[in-house]
């Protein structure tokens, strides 16, 4: 479990941490360059003419895997003093971070790791602590020292701090730490019980539930788009890398940070509100990345339905509520009362069934269909429900 806190380093500490981030960025790019060079050398046949393609790496050189690059890191530290200034476990985590991305590309089909340009490497990790580093409102970080921390919530009793990730925001003007805590307690996944609701999200209303609750969609980005455009226009007219250019970039980054924080705060409050009303929550299994590519992509990204679903899943797990996803196909074309299906156009915003006469708001009717599909996943009565294999419990991964 992770807790995020705001920290307030001194000017000297900020300068040191920014230099660490730049060193980590260069190390990441260097390891990625070795990896890509080895891959490119294996794409060329050994008997080809060097005018077109050249086999630049010998056959006896092994693949630059995680352990191989960790051994190379030890040799690089002997000739490059800036690498020795960074904590040893931090530099090792940089190599691990690259190879985690590489394994995601190989095994899960994610994108190939990309080079980090200036300012895009924004965090580094201390992976382990022998003792509690928080004492008296300060956090003790190796080679950095004591840093003031806003401990707005205490670490729960029985939990140990396993790692601390230092995160830079707004181009190094705001700093946070993500503290990973762990307890040797097995927490069972919440069973299905009690009152169930279905949740349907959309661009007109942010969500509608089967309990006939509708919440309007705030326009986090659109409302501040005019101000953001003005700041970006001013930044584009400054000389690159000058002090005025850096000040303008900080203003742009702070506005982006404000938009993201406002959106996340709204999502968390709605998730807790839904958990207050129900014990089982069902949502659709829509791939929202497809929606973001349409002509309403800006509004879809502004609503950030994917982030809301992940936060709702986490809040349900935290509060002991059951969470599951159901098939999204045809939820707007089916009557929740009798199950009749017909071709329902998007322009028709009121659901009226010709078979049974059921009438309701289109989004609320879809939420009722989602709730019905979620309940049908369980055999027997509510007290006798067993968890089906295709349900996703909070904390599980597919």
Cα–Cα distances in angstroms (integers) from residue 364 to residues 203, 209, 346, 389, in the given order: 14, 6, 14, 28
End-to-end CA distance of the chain: 19
| pLDDT of 129 above 80 | yes
**Which pLDDT value is given to residue 55?**
61
185-231 confidence digits (pLDDT tens):
777 777 777 889 999 999 999 999 999 999 999 999 999 999 999 99
Residues 225 and 178 in one domain: no
Residues 201 and 173 in one domain: no
* Radius of gyration of the chain from its Cα atoms, rounded to whole angstroms: 26
Residues 110 and 222 in one domain: no
SS3 102: helix
397 domain-assigned: no
Mean pLDDT value of segment 64-83 = 95
CATH code assigned at 278: 3.30.420
392 domain-assigned: no
Residues 227 and 103 in one domain: no
393 domain-assigned: no
**Which pLDDT value is given to residue 121?**
96
Residues 167 and 200 in one domain: no
| Helix, strand, coil % over all residues of the chain, rounded to 5 | 40, 20, 40
Q: What percent of the chain stands above pLDDT 70?
A: 91
**Considering the entire predicted model, what is its pTM?**
0.86
314-333 confidence digits (pLDDT tens):
999 999 999 999 999 888 88
* Overall number of domains in the chain: 2
218-231 confidence digits (pLDDT tens):
999 999 999 999 99
Mean pLDDT value of segment 22-37 = 96
- Which domain range does residue 82 map to? 2-182
Contact (CB, 8 A) for 190 and 344? no
- Of 132, 147, 182, which closes a domain? 182
Q: What is the mean pLDDT of the chain?
A: 89
Helix and strand element counts for the chain (H, E)? 11, 14
396 domain-assigned: no
Residues 173 and 318 in one domain: no
22 domain-assigned: yes
| pLDDT of 363 above 80 | yes
pLDDT band at 351 (very low <50, low <70, confident <90, very high): confident
306 domain-assigned: yes
Residues 270 and 122 in one domain: no
Cα–Cα distance measured from residue 29 to residue 37, given in angstroms and rounded to the nearest whole number: 12
**Which pLDDT value is given to residue 291?**
86
Residues 178 and 302 in one domain: no
34 domain-assigned: yes
Residues 139 and 224 in one domain: no
Cα–Cα distance measured from residue 256 to residue 379, given in angstroms and rounded to the nearest whole number: 47
């Amino acid at each position: 479990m992770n807790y995020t806190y705001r920290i307030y380093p001194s000017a000297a500490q900020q300068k040191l941490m920014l230099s660490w981030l730049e060193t980590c960025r260069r190390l990441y790019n260097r390891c990625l360059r070795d990896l890509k060079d080895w891959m490119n050398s294996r794409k060329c046949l050994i008997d080809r003419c060097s005018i077109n393609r050249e086999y630049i790496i010998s056959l006896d050189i092994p693949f630059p895997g995680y352990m191989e690059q960790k051994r190379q890191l030890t040799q690089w530290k002997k000739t490059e003093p800036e690498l020795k200034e960074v904590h040893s476990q931090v530099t090792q985590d940089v190599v691990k971070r690259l190879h985690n991305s590489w394994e995601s590309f190989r095994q899960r089909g994610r994108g190939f790791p990309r080079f980090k340009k200036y300012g895009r490497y924004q965090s580094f990790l201390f992976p382990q602590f022998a003792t509690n580093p928080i004492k008296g409102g300060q956090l003790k970080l190796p080679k950095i020292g004591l840093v003031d921390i806003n401990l707005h919530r205490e670490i729960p009793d029985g939990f140990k701090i396993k790692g601390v990730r230092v995160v830079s925001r707004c181009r190094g003007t705001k700093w946070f730490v993500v503290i990973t805590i762990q307890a040797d307690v097995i927490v069972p996944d919440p069973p299905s019980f009690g009152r169930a609701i279905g949740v349907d999200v959309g661009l007109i209303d942010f969500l509608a539930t089967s309990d006939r609750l509708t919440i309007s969609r705030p326009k986090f980005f659109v409302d501040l788009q005019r101000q953001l455009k003005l700041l970006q226009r001013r930044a584009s007219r400054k000389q690159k890398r000058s002090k005025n250019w850096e000040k303008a970039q900080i203003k742009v980054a702070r506005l982006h940070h404000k938009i993201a924080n406002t959106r996340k705060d709204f999502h968390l409050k709605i998730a807790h509100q839904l958990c207050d009303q129900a014990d089982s929550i069902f949502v659709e299994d829509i791939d929202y990345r497809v929606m973001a590519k349409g002509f309403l992509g800006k509004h879809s990204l502004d609503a950030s339905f994917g982030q809301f679903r992940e936060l709702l899943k986490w809040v349900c797990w935290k509060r002991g509520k059951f969470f599951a996803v159901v098939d999204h196909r045809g939820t707007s074309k089916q009557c929740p009362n009798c199950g009749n299906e017909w071709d329902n156009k998007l322009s028709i915003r009121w659901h009226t069934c010709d078979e049974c006469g059921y009438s309701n708001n289109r989004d609320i009717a879809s939420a009722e269909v989602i709730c019905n599909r979620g309940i049908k996943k369980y055999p027997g009565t509510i007290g006798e429900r067993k968890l089906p294999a295709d349900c996703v419990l909070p904390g599980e991964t597919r």
